[in-house]
Structures are given as structure tokens and as C-alpha cells.
Amino acid sequence: MKPLLKTLLIVCVLAAGGGFYWWKTQPQAKTTEGAAAKTAKADSKDGKAQGKEPKAEGKASKRGAGGPVSVRIVVAAPQPMPVVIDAVGSAESEHSVAVRPQISGVLESVMFKEGDYVKAGQPLFRIDPRSTQATVDQAKAAVARDLAQLAQAKEQEGRLRPLMEKEYITRSEYDVAATLVKSLEATVAASRAQLEQAQLQLSYAHITAPIAGRTGDLSVRSGNLVTGGTTGTPLVVINSTRPILVSLNVPQRDLDDVRKAKNAAQLKVNISANRGGPTVAEGDLVFIDNAVNVQTGTILLKARVKNEHEELWPGQFVAARIILKVEKDAIALPETAVQPGQDRPFVYVVRDGKAAMQEVQISRQIGSLVVLSKGVKAGDQVVVDVPYALTDGSTVQVKQGDVADSDGKRKSGSEKSESKQAAAAEK
């Protein structure tokens, strides 16, 4: 019975302790909930107060919308601008030779490296010459034999001539000796021709460069047997690179302008590695095709470039700019100043502190500059980098030192003063 009493006593003590803990913690929970509710109300009030601020800011922004628009301008001024035709072309060798052996034999040696620049007459290959050398020696022996026979025949003819004149022998006997001399003379000539042919074949054992140029890939290495003839893979291909030709196609509508400029000796061709890149070479127009390509409507032109430093490579695609002439007093503006219009492009001209829309006529574009034929005259202040809010009649404000140069780049007041001082120094 005693263990049971102890167990009941422990249960009663735990129950009393749990009830006391619940009684102590209940008021604190309520207090915490009340505080959280108060905090939420305060936050909602703050949110309403903050929600009113954007409306105030929006009203302020609307009030500032009617102010002057800050712009950057460029002063239109006459400047020399070329009249050009842009085209895509390809460089090609003016002279290309496929070197092939003219006799058969073992290729003994190669006397250059792949890709070397070689001069005309420089030794390239050597073919085993022993077979052709033997033919030459045989031809020399034949010539010597025929010369000996001819000498004997001439002596015989010389002995018979006085006998024939004294009628010790008949005329027909003498004619046989004279005919033998002439026959042997022809034999000697034929033997000499064969000797020259054999010597020529021997010279083919030493292959030299027929032109100056850049060598390509070797198709046969030393030690291999090569066969003479015009068929088969060449030993190497040599392409001349100094000078080099640039072939390009231009629209047929430009043909008359090209011909006039070529006859006036004003035409130049600038070559770049890619469109818009720097000029790497200059050339002269040397060829105008005699017919227009009816399928493409273009005419083939070729320009010769000195290419002394091999800036261009055969087969390379390049960008070509044909300069027909230079217009001395052209009006050119940055492309950011010209805006597309519903009928035609236009610019904004600043007059009396306001922007005025002015329609223009574009002649051509060169790089980042647009050359105008109508619409803008020298001295006009034209807006560049047109702001979105700018409209016809808008009041504008040009900030101090916010005038662009002819390329549309920003030029500060100090830069303008420096440029003026530099110009004065040059004068």
C-alpha cells in the first residue's frame, strides 16, 4: 500500500504544478497579442502616410514637365567629303604558276621551305640528272662521229675535183662525192639538234622559280619519283603577291561615274580588311569589264595594289571603297542628328531658343557622318542625340560647353579653346 500512496502523491503534486504554470502564463500571452495588434495598426497608419508621398512626387514631376529641354548641338560647317562607292571584293594573284616537272626521275632535293617568298630564277627542285646526262654524252659522241665523217668526205671531194676538171674521172663520179658531203653536213646538223635537245632535257633536272612570289604547299617530298608532263598534281604553286589585284563588283548604275572618274584620273581605291575598318592599302583601277553581268546587274572592276608589305593575301575577302572625287564644301552631320520622318528624314534646328523641325535630303553616308544635299546650310545649329521629349517648337537650353564637334562627339569649353589655339599655332 505504501508504494501506491507514494504514486498518488506524486501525481497530485505534478497536477498542481501544471495548473499554477498555466495560471501564470495566460495573462502574458494576452498582453503579447495586444501589443502585436497595436503594432499592426501603427504599421498600417505608416503605410497610408507613405502612400501619399508618391502622389506628391507625381504632381511635382508633372509640374516640371513644361521646362526647357537640355540639348546638345553641332554647328553645320562646310567640309571636304568624298563621293564614294562601297563594295565587297576579293584579293587575287596577278600571276599564278603551277610548277610541274618536265622530265621523269627521282626528286633529289627541295631547296626552299613551304610558304617562302622566292625570286624569279631561284632554284627550287633538283631531279636526278644521271639519265639525261647519259643522253647528252651520247648525243655529243654522235656529233663528233658525224663531224669526222664529214671531214673525210670533204677531203675526198677535194681530191676528185681537179681530176674531174682534167677529165681523168667522169662527172658522175665526182657528183657522188659532192652529194656525200652535203648528206653528212645534214647529218651533223641533225646530231647537233639532238645534242641541244638532250642538253635541254638535262636543264629540266634543275627546276627554278619562273616568277617571283609566295610558294604554297609542297605536294611531293624529296626521294619520290616524279613524272614529267602537264597532268597530275603540281610540285608547288607560286602566287605573285607584289603587286596584287582586288576584284570587286559594283552596280551597273555606277558605271558611268566610274568611267568618268577614271578618265579624269581622280579615281582611287581604298582597301580595308573589313567594312568600316581602317584602310590597309590603296590601289589604282586598272580594269573595267567589257560587259555587265546580266544575272546580277553588276560590272566587274579590278584594282592593282602594290602590296609591298603583303597586307593583302590571295583569296582574302576585303572591303573596298572607290573614291570617285572629293566634294570640297559638303554639309555633313552626325547620324544621331538625322531622324526618320513619315515622308522624309528631318533634323531639329535651334532658332531663338526653340527647336524647329527641318526636313533634309540625304546624299550619302560615310562612316558616322551623313552628307546632306538639302535642308541645312552652313552656320545652322543642329541638335544631336535628340532627346525623347523634344518636339517641334520645344523650348531648348544648350548647356555651357555642350557643343559637339563635326563627328558628334562632346567637346568641352576647354577642348574648344585648345583646338582654337592649335589652329592658330598652325597658321
* 382: CATH: 2.40.30.170
Residues of the chain where predicted confidence (pLDDT) is lower than 50: 1, 27-65, 401, 411-427
Residue 178 is assigned to a structural domain of this protein? no
Residue 64 is assigned to a structural domain of this protein? no
Total domain count, the chain: 1
Are the C-beta atoms of residues 272 and 254 closer than 8 Å to each other? no
Residue 404 is assigned to a structural domain of this protein? yes
Q: What is the pLDDT of residue 28?
A: 46
Q: What is the pLDDT of residue 282?
A: 94
Structural domain including 296 reads 78-90+242-426
Are the C-beta atoms of residues 376 and 382 closer than 8 Å to each other? yes
CA 202 to chain centre: 45
Residue 314 is assigned to a structural domain of this protein? yes
Residue 124 is assigned to a structural domain of this protein? no
Residue 358 is assigned to a structural domain of this protein? yes
- The identity of residue 275, as a single letter, is R
Q: What is the pLDDT of residue 3?
A: 57
Residue 135: CB atoms within 10 A of its CB come to: 17
Are the C-beta atoms of residues 353 and 396 closer than 8 Å to each other? yes
Q: What is the pLDDT of residue 419?
A: 37
In angstroms, rounded to a whole number, what is the distance separating the alpha carbons of residues 333 and 322? 22
Angle at 204 between CA 203 and CA 205, to 5 degrees: 90
Residue 354 is assigned to a structural domain of this protein? yes
Residue 123 is assigned to a structural domain of this protein? no
Helix (H/G/I), strand (E/B), else coil: 359:
strand
Q: Which residues pair with 215 in a beta bridge?
A: 238
